[in-house]
Amino acid sequence: MPLYEYVCSECDSKFEVLRPTSRMDDPVDCPRDHGTTRRVLSTFATVAKDIYGSSEQVGCGGGCSGCSCGSN
């Protein structure tokens, strides 16, 4: 089951919900008891070992300047 990320439109808190794909766009209540939320695109990064055993960045989601993407 996928993990989806949501943001509350009232308090701007981000939270995740584990739910089936068929329910990804169903309404979700904010954990702080607000009712208005929206699903957002989650970002992620992956790291793998190269043939010499060193860490190598494979992919990086997002592109915001506050991320640590690009640093190993």
- Contact predicate 47/59, CB 8 Å: no
pLDDT of residue 57: 63
Report pTM: 0.57
CA separation for the pair 57, 59 (Å, rounded): 6
Each domain of the chain, given as residue ranges in start order, spans: 3-60
pLDDT higher at 65 or 35: 35
CA separation for the pair 10, 26 (Å, rounded): 18
Cα dist from 16 to 29, 34, 58, whole Å: 11, 15, 24
pLDDT in tens, 14-51: 999 999 999 988 989 999 988 789 999 877 777 777 77
Helices (H) and strands (E) in the chain, counts: 0, 5
pLDDT of residue 60: 54
